[in-house]
Structure 1
Amino acid sequence: MREIRALITVGGRYVGEAEPFTVDSPWWNHVEPVTAHLDRALGVTTSVLRLVATTAPAMRDGVVTYQVEADREPAGLDRGAEHEFPDHPLRLPWARPGGPAELVAWAARHVRLTGRPVQVKTWNLSCLYRLPTTRGAVWAKATPPFMADEGRVIGLVASVDPTLAPVLLAAEPGRVLLAEAPGHDCWRPTGEVVDRIVPRWVAAQAALAGEPRLRVRGVEPPGFGLPGTLLHGDFHPGNWRSGGVVLDWGDAHWGNPALDAARLVGFVAPGVRAGVERAWVEAWLEHRPDSDPAEALRHARPASHLVGALVYQEFLDNIEPSERVYHEGDPEAERERAQSLAV
């Protein structure tokens, strides 16, 4: 459970603090319950711009202070203290005054809204809105320049399997508009879900293999006959939908496909790992019968954590100080995991 302190601004000007409140969701970047409460309590439309401070050391719980933007000045705020919000050169567009509204306005140029947009998530890696439209719910997502261009990556995936990636309604560098992907998130995947998604992703990777079309991270475990190809980069089942679509392509890069499998194997529960490894190895043997995917995966397990260390360090190098709390200590933890799995 989070206790919320909301520092309200209008056009970047501090106008007061809302009465503190709690929300059941523990995750700092999950702001849908935060704005829902504030909209009801204050009678205005709000959006969370950024995290200002927190008392907890992880991504959840504690007392969390946000800078919140309102569309007009509400009554009943506490002006007992003054707060200033100086800009920072690493602040992302959606964390600045008017940023969330600009993302929604961009989306509204491509779809017809039928209700109030809902800000679901915001932090240093994305700002995500669910939008009611004449074609059902759609999702507007903004991402930072140090991550992959999701529109481009989704286009690559869709070129070989249109059912594997979400339907792209509009895109430009740094933001995408996506149709709703059917089903639910697969944090605890069944064997049936693994057998339905893993072989299709392997088939797409086999079809896309060749010269790099995205950046290479610089960690390359032995291939054992597997080709360089497009990697999702964060291929855990929380990014899968039960309908078969894979989401969140911002970590995509080019490299050994065993790195994606290693990320997946390290994420799932121990009782599921054997089934995941079997599905992945059998799928690659169908496409590359002269390869040794099992050995490639064994070497990729520690290497995947070295990639993780690089990724987390990139986050820390490119986000403003108040948001570093999301990732502090992660590069070191990933290097320790790599060492513990060293082949």
Structure 2
Amino acid sequence: MGTVPEFTVPTPWWNDVEPVTAHLTALLGVPVSVLRLVSATGAGMRGGTVTYQVEAHAPISLSTVDPIDFPDDPLRLPWARPGGPAALLEWAHGHVRSVEPPTQVKTWNLSCLYRLRTKAGTVWAKQVPPFLSPEGPVIELVRSVDPELVPSVLAAEGRRILLEDAPGTDCWSPTPEMIRRMVPRWVAMQHALAGPPRLREHPIDVPSFGLPQTLLHGDFHPGNWRSTGVVLDWAEAHWGHPGLDAAKLIDFVGPTLGELVVQVWCESWSALRPGSDPASALRHARPAAHLLSARVYQHFLDNIEESERVYHRGDPEEHLALAESFAV
């Protein structure tokens, strides 16, 4: 139909669309959903001026009507098309009933996420793209060995999932105590699931040094941990060497906590796999993890439409350079 005047939101992250929809709903007087990013002048997924394509879920009127043509793109994701967010909510409402309007929390090329309030509490409706793993089967696999490590699944179908709220807070700045608690538990889960692949693999080899192939989270940083010990966001899960998850964590937490991760991780694997050499495995896994990241980011770029590639542009090159910086 047209555009609305530029406005400022309190978060810099482009995919954090809750304040965007809140402003537009108040401005237009009807519920809205952000479909996709059209353009952005910032960098690194944050800041600058951002333009979104937005869908209104009831008739609206604008002071200036200037119809905009959005050409189709074969790589456009289901929730990035008109009717896509509504289809996700319709599916979710086939399993739970909201007691207030659902809130779109996040949308970008890797997921669309809604928060729903029900009489029983908060639940989350999420959809991920075809090039990521369906989270339901992965979560159930982890639940088979450690039920408290994953959120409770209310429903799952294809790349859609409905989750109970995981209590606690996100652990973007983990404490040493959290490292000592989470890393041994993580190692125990991977030890329990070790064996032949049960889902997709990435062809990044790490010498085993006595450690098994097992389930990897794929994005194992503390921002995906809850303070209660629940781990979220399993759509990048795959099968591989456990050192790759540990390397991701070490790089994320920085040198001081990274040394603690190395210590606890090596002690945990040595206890479960006597005769293994976790320290040597980790020395090889750290550059290999950046090779894996470069491959994953390139896979994202190859499977998303042009306007949303800004989220990941330059990431493969950055991680290739980081891999080359290691001397094994």
TM-score computed with the length of structure 2 as normaliser:
0.98
- Once residues 182 and 167 of structure 2 are traced to their aligned partners in structure 1, the CA distance between those partners, rounded to angstroms, is 14
- Once residues 165 and 58 of structure 1 are traced to their aligned partners in structure 2, the CA distance between those partners, rounded to angstroms, is 29
Which residues in structure 2 correspond to 1:38-77 (within 5 Å)? 38-77=24-63
- Once residues 292 and 200 of structure 1 are traced to their aligned partners in structure 2, the CA distance between those partners, rounded to angstroms, is 19
Q: How many residues align?
A: 328
Which of 31, 35, 47 is residue 21 of structure 2 equivalent to? Answer: 35
Amino acid at match of 2:21: T
- Asked if 1:337 corresponds to 2:326, the answer is no
1:313 aligns to what?
298
- Once residues 319 and 281 of structure 1 are traced to their aligned partners in structure 2, the CA distance between those partners, rounded to angstroms, is 38
- Once residues 184 and 167 of structure 2 are traced to their aligned partners in structure 1, the CA distance between those partners, rounded to angstroms, is 19
- Once residues 274 and 57 of structure 1 are traced to their aligned partners in structure 2, the CA distance between those partners, rounded to angstroms, is 31
Query: Any stretches of 5+ residues in structure 1 without a counterpart?
Result: 1-14
Which string of whole-angstrom CA distances, capped at 9 and with x for unpartnered residues, describes residues 81-107 of structure 1? Answer: 431012211000000001011111111
Contact 1:120 1:130 in 2 (8 A): yes
1:275 aligns to what?
260
TM-score computed with the length of structure 1 as normaliser:
0.94
- Asked if 1:133 corresponds to 2:137, the answer is no
- Asked if 1:229 corresponds to 2:214, the answer is yes
Following superposition, the deviation at residue 269 of structure 1 comes to 2.5
2:289 aligns to what?
304
- Once residues 209 and 318 of structure 1 are traced to their aligned partners in structure 2, the CA distance between those partners, rounded to angstroms, is 30
Following superposition, the deviation at residue 57 of structure 1 comes to 2.9
Greater share of strand: 1
- Once residues 163 and 278 of structure 1 are traced to their aligned partners in structure 2, the CA distance between those partners, rounded to angstroms, is 24
Q: Which moved more, 1:257-266 or 1:48-57?
A: 48-57
Which residues in structure 2 correspond to 1:176-215 (within 5 Å)? 176-215=161-200
Contact 1:316 1:328 in 2 (8 A): yes
- Once residues 342 and 109 of structure 1 are traced to their aligned partners in structure 2, the CA distance between those partners, rounded to angstroms, is 53
- Once residues 64 and 147 of structure 2 are traced to their aligned partners in structure 1, the CA distance between those partners, rounded to angstroms, is 52
1:260 aligns to what?
245
RMSD over aligned CA atoms reads: 1.0
- Once residues 19 and 94 of structure 1 are traced to their aligned partners in structure 2, the CA distance between those partners, rounded to angstroms, is 24
- Once residues 77 and 127 of structure 1 are traced to their aligned partners in structure 2, the CA distance between those partners, rounded to angstroms, is 30
State the 4+ residue runs in structure 1 displaced beyond 2 angstroms. Answer: 75-79
Which string of whole-angstrom CA distances, capped at 9 and with x for unpartnered residues, describes residues 61-88 of structure 1? Answer: 1110000000123233432x43101221
2:3 aligns to what?
17
Amino acid at match of 1:183: G
Following superposition, the deviation at residue 289 of structure 1 comes to 1.5
Amino acid at match of 1:167: S
- Once residues 293 and 77 of structure 1 are traced to their aligned partners in structure 2, the CA distance between those partners, rounded to angstroms, is 64
Following superposition, the deviation at residue 294 of structure 1 comes to 1.1
- Once residues 103 and 230 of structure 1 are traced to their aligned partners in structure 2, the CA distance between those partners, rounded to angstroms, is 28
- Once residues 30 and 162 of structure 2 are traced to their aligned partners in structure 1, the CA distance between those partners, rounded to angstroms, is 26
Which string of whole-angstrom CA distances, capped at 9 and with x for unpartnered residues, describes residues 300-319 of structure 1? Answer: 00000000011001000000
Contact 1:19 1:78 in 2 (8 A): no
Query: Any stretches of 5+ residues in structure 2 without a counterpart?
Result: none
- Once residues 256 and 129 of structure 2 are traced to their aligned partners in structure 1, the CA distance between those partners, rounded to angstroms, is 36
Which residues in structure 2 correspond to 1:47-126 (within 5 Å)? 47-79=33-65, 81-126=66-111
- Asked if 1:152 corresponds to 2:137, the answer is yes
